[in-house]
Amino acid sequence: MPRLLSSPASLAVSGRHERQAGRRLDRRLTMELGVISLLVGLLFLPLPAENLQLISQMNQAVMVLGAALAVYVMLRLNLLHFGVPAFMAVGGYSSALVAIHITDNVVALVAVSLVVPALVAVPFGLITLRLRGTYFALVTFLIGQVVHLAILASDRLGRTDGLTGVPAPTWGDVVMGDALTTFRLGLVVCILSALLVAGFMSVNSRRIDSLRSNEVLAASLGLRGWPIRLGSFVVSAAAAGASGFLVVNTLTTAHPSSFATLSGVNYVAYVVVGGAASIVGPLVGTVALVFLVAQFASEGVYASALLGGLLIFTSLFLRGGLTSTVRRIAEWLRDRRTPVPRASRQRRAVDEGQS
């Protein structure tokens, strides 16, 4: 073993792997910065206030982007998280309660929607993060159901009626109630969620990649997995909670049907269709599916069929989602122009498998 580790060949291999890992991190960081810059840019883009349909669709995408990011954070660890609606509900209901009973200050509401779900995620995380793979996925469904049932059983949360008449958030004397302001507030909250997710990912990127590729090996090298998994779960809950706040803010109602357990499928679909290799995947998937589904707004049942069909198609034919497929096509086209040595192609294939 010592001879193998210290041999020049193994050192060269380990150096190459480190360089590849470094390149992967750089690429991911660039993507994350790109997405955040895009969202910031959208804030300053002049939008036609009279085109309410466009603003409504953009707002819908912004509203659920946090939920997609919540799924993405856990999927980086190979954990499929269907319990996102539970944390959206916690964020949405807690901000609604604060808005109704304490203050409608926007900073307070956003802070509550980020912090309360993060705190609630800790005990749930302690229960679920011992589980792996598909078992984890099943149990996250149960978390969604527990929170949904808790809302239905609580008089304080309005049971099946929910909390109605939630006041619009305010910033000083400004009431943020119109469609355009709601959209821009949604963008700001999305940027916060994206920064939170990207920050956590950047700090823990190598650890997450290690856990993802071989957890046993990572543990044998001294990497403790549970703080990373719990941290991911908490960050995911915070992003979902912020998304829940946006849902409540848009509808001015915190209603249990907005956080139905099976709606977690939609957020997973956004990431699966978009791709989970980087933060671009959830963004692309969310925007694409929200706009596609909006075309069937009058016939929700077709939207459900479309979503199902896309999930099947992506899993069978577009492994890695839209973003990975586009990248593969781009690389294929580049390789056709400039033939790449076979060894290099093999290395890239290994590289892709890891990302």
- Contact positions toward another protein, by CB under 8 A? 78, 80, 124, 126-128, 130-139, 141-143, 145-146, 149-150, 152-153, 261-262, 265, 268, 272, 301-302, 304-305, 307-312, 314-316, 319
Q: What is the 3-state secondary structure (H, E, C) of 250-314?
A: HHCEECHHHHCHHHHHHHHHHHHHHCCCCCHHHHHHHHHHHHHHHCCCCCHHHHHHHHHHHHHHH
User: Given the complex with another protein, which of 127 and 203 has the nearer CB atom?
Assistant: 127
How far apart are the C-alpha atoms of 288 and 283, rounded to whole Å? 8
Q: What is the 3-state secondary structure (H, E, C) of 202-220?
A: HHHHHHHHHHHHCHHHHHH
User: Given the complex with another protein, which of 299 and 335 has the nearer CB atom?
Assistant: 299
User: Given the complex with another protein, which of 98 and 265 has the nearer CB atom?
Assistant: 265
CB of 163 to another protein, least distance (A): 17
How buried is residue 27: exposed, middle or buried, by Cβ count under 10 Å (0-12/13-18/19+)? middle
324 near 276, Cβ under 8 Å?
A: no
User: Given the complex with another protein, which of 186 and 264 has the nearer CB atom?
Assistant: 264
User: Given the complex with another protein, which of 42 and 146 has the nearer CB atom?
Assistant: 146
Q: Which one-letter amino acid corresponds to residue 272?
A: V
Structure tokens at 164: 């109605």
User: Given the complex with another protein, which of 44 and 317 has the nearer CB atom?
Assistant: 317
CB of 84 to another protein, least distance (A): 14
CB of 148 to another protein, least distance (A): 9
- Three-class SS of residue 223? coil
CB of 118 to another protein, least distance (A): 19
CB of 78 to another protein, least distance (A): 7
Place of tokens 């400004």: 174
CB of 131 to another protein, least distance (A): 6
